[in-house]
Chain A
Amino acid sequence: MPSKTLYDKIWDAHVVSTEPDGTCLIYIDRHLVHEVTSAQAFEGLRLNDRPVRRPELTLAVVDHNIPTTDRSQGIDDPESKLQMDTLAANTKEFGVEYYDELDQRQGIVHIIGPEQGFTLPGTTVVCGDSHTATHGAFGALAHGIGTSEVEHVLASQTLLQNKSKNMLVKVNGKLPAGITAKDLTLAIIAHTGTAGGTGHVIEYSGEAIRDLSMEGRMTLCNMAIEGGARAGLVAPDEKTYAYLKGRPKAPKGADWDAAVAYWKTLHSDEGAHFDKVIEIDATSIAPIVTWGTSPEDAIAITDSVPEPMSFSDEHKQSSAARALEYMGLTAGTPMTEIPIDKVFIGSCTNGRIEDLREVARVVEGRKIAPNVDAMVVPGSGLVKSQAEEEGIAAILKEAGFDWREPGCSMCLGMNPDRLEPGERCASTSNRNFEGRQGHGGRTHLMSPAMAAAAAVTGRLTDVRTLDTAGAPA
C-alpha cells in the first residue's frame, strides 16, 4: 500500500463518489452553524422543499453578532435580533440542536465544537466560517464554506470538493519560555505569506507541535486560513484523547475504545509525499506582533516598523505603503514605542481557558494603564464559568479589565464591540484587515500574554521584559 499523509487518509475515507475530472463528493461528519451565514441556506431548503438529511450531525449556536453585555433582557439591535430569531426558528423547523444566547453552552462556534466533544479526530468538519480550520487541531479535516455549501451540506450531508495538495510545516526544537502557539502561528504566516498555503492542506508536525496543549494546537490551526490554506491538521495523540474523553458528545464505552483504536492510525506514513515542505526553527521565535493590515505583516516585538521599499516586489511595496498610512505608523519606529487605546482578549483564536490563564498570570497584581480600555470576552459560557471558578475573572477585573459575556465580539465588530476610527488595539484575534474591528480601527495581532503586557504599559510591549519596563501598581 502506498504511503499516505494524514490528509490523504481522511480524504480517502470520505469519498462518496468521483467525477471523471477528479471532483469528489465528500461525506461531511460534523456541521456547525451560526446566525450570520445560515439564514439563506435554510431558506434555500424551504424554497426547494428539501429536509435536512441528518439533523443530528449539525449543531447550531449564536455567536457572531450578539452583544457581550447582559442578554437576559433581550437584544436591542433589531437586525441582530432578526438574525438570531431566524436561526432559532430555522433550527426548530428543521430539527437541529441549537444553543441560544442564554444557554451556558453557548459560545464561539469553534470553541463549543471541541468543548462538547462534537469535533473528533478523523472526521470532516465544516462551518460557514473561515476559522473552521481550528478543528484541525484534533486531526479533523475542517474547513470554512460559503452559504451555498452550507445548504448543500444540510440537504445532502456532502460537499463537492477537489482534493488539495499536501503541505508539511515542520516546527523543530522547543519554543522558548514565554513563546506561545499564537507567536508560532504568526511566525509561520510571516514566513509563508497569506497566500503561501493556497490550494493546500497543511499538516503541522515536529517537536514544538507535539509539545503544544490542545488549546495551543487550536490557536495554531485556527490561523491556517490566514496563511491561505484550506485546512490545518495536527495528528491526534494522547493529549487529544485526554481532552475529548468524557465530553458530552464524544463516544462512550465500546465506541470510545473503537474510536481511539482508529484514531491511532491517523498519522502520515513514513515516506508519505508532501507537495511543499517548510521547516521552522522553534528556538528562534520571539514574541510576534503585526504592524500592517494583513496577518503576514508580522514581525518580532524587538523589530521596528518596516520601510515599504524594503520589500522586493512592487505590489508588496505599494501594499505596505498603504498599510502604514492606514495604521498611522512611520517606518523605523520601534514596535515597543507604539501606544495603544484598547485591548481585546478573546475570539476563536484565543478565547479559551488557557488564554485567560495567561492573561491573568501577566496582569496579576498590576493595573491596566490609565489610557487603555481593555475587555475580555470568554469564548464560551463554560470557559467563562471555569475562569470565574479558578479566580481568573477576579484577577482580571481587579486589574481593570471589562469582563463580558461570550461571543465573537470585537474580532469582527458585528456587535456593538468595535473600534472607533483611528483607535489602536492590541488584539488576540486573527485578522488585522482594514476596518475589521471597526471602520478606521487599527489592529495589532498578538498573543494573550503580549496583549496583557500592552494593557499594563499602554503600548506594545515585549512581555518578557515587563518586570523592568512596566509600571506595576
Chain B
Amino acid sequence: MKALKELSGVAAPMPMINVDTDMIIPKQYLKTIGRSGLGKGLFHSMRYNDDGTDNPDFVLNKEAYKDAKILIAGDNFGCGSSREHAAWAIEDFGIRCVIAPSFSDIFYNNAFKNGMLLIRLPQEQIDELTEQAEFGSNAVFSVDLESQTVTAPDGKEHTFEIDDFRKHCLLNGLDEIALTLEKAQSIDQYETNTNNAHSWLNPAAG
C-alpha cells in the first residue's frame, strides 16, 4: 500500500447523496482481471455523453477540477456493490482523498486498502467545504493525516476522527496481509482451540 501523510490540491465538489459504486464505476469496467487503468471509467454515466464525448457540465470535466486531488461528496458515498473497482477508479483518476458526511462500510474499507484517505465530517462542515470548493482552482485544500486536519482555503482547520490502527497503516504504507501473517501463531492457536471445541465447523466433504 502507498503511504499517505499529507495532501494538497483542488477539491471537486459533488454534493449528491447516495452516490453508489455502480455510479462510480459501472458494470462494463468490472470484466477486467487487473486493477489498473480504471480512472477512465470513473463516474462514466455522468462524465460522458451517449456518443462518448465529455459532458461539459460534469464537475470533473470542468477545467478547474481536471486535476482534482480531493473529492467533497454527499452523505452515504460509495453505497451499494462491494466492487473495489470503485476505489481503484478514483485512485487511478488521481483523487486520493474523499471527504463526506458518511461512507458505506465496505467502500470505506476498500479505499484505505488502496492508500486512500476517507474523511468523515458533519454535514454543516461539508456544506462549508463544498461552497469553498466551488471556487475551483483558486481554492486549495490541505489534508494532514498526522494531525488529523483538513485546512480549507479560508484557513479554517477541520479536525477529523480516524482509528489509530488504520492511521498507522496509511501513514507508513504497511502491507496488512504481511502484518497479519506475522500473527500466524495466534491464528494457529485459534484454529486448534476451535477444532477441539467445535469440530462441526469443518465442512463435510459434500
Interface residues of A (CB under 8 A from B): 16-17, 19-23, 25, 27, 29-30, 36-37, 39-40, 43-44, 48, 50, 53, 56-57, 64-65, 79-80, 82-83, 86, 116-118, 120, 123, 128-130, 132, 143-149, 151-152, 155-158, 160, 162, 164, 194-195, 198-199, 225-226, 228, 230, 247-252, 255-256, 258-259, 262, 294, 296, 315-316, 318-319, 322, 412-414, 421, 431, 433-436, 439
Contact = CB atoms under 8 A, between A and B. Distances in A.
A250 B22 contact: no
A9 to B, nearest CB: 13
A67 to B, nearest CB: 13
Contact of A251 (B35, B81, B82, B204): B204
Contacts, number: 206
User: Which 10 A-B pairs give the minimum distances between C-beta atoms?
Assistant: A248-B206, A146-B110, A146-B84, A148-B113, A21-B164, A39-B33, A251-B200, A79-B31, A259-B200, A144-B82
Interface in B92-127: 102-106, 109-110, 113-114
Interface in B65-85: 74-76, 79-84
Contacts of B79: 194-195, 228
Nearest to A87: B33
B194 A146 contact: no
B187 A315 contact: no
Interface stretch (B4-12, B51-59, B151-159, B175-183): B175-183
A17 to B, nearest CB: 5
A315 B33 contact: no
Contacts of A86: 33
Given A145-B109, A151-B177, A195-B75, A439 B45 contact: yes
A230 B105 contact: yes
Given A433-B80, A435-B26, A315 B17 contact: yes
A228 B200 CA distance: 32
Interface of B: 15-18, 20, 22-23, 26-27, 30-35, 45, 50, 74-76, 79-84, 87, 102-106, 109-110, 113-114, 163-166, 176-177, 180-181, 183, 186-187, 190-191, 194, 198-204, 206
A436 B186 contact: no
Contacts of B103: 198
Identify which of B27, B74, B82 gathers the most chain A CB atoms within 10 Å of its CB: B82
6 contacts: A23-B165, A53-B187, A145-B106, A155-B177, A228-B79, A262-B200
A225 B105 CA distance: 10
Identify which of A16, A57, A155, A258 gathers the most chain B CB atoms within 10 Å of its CB: A16
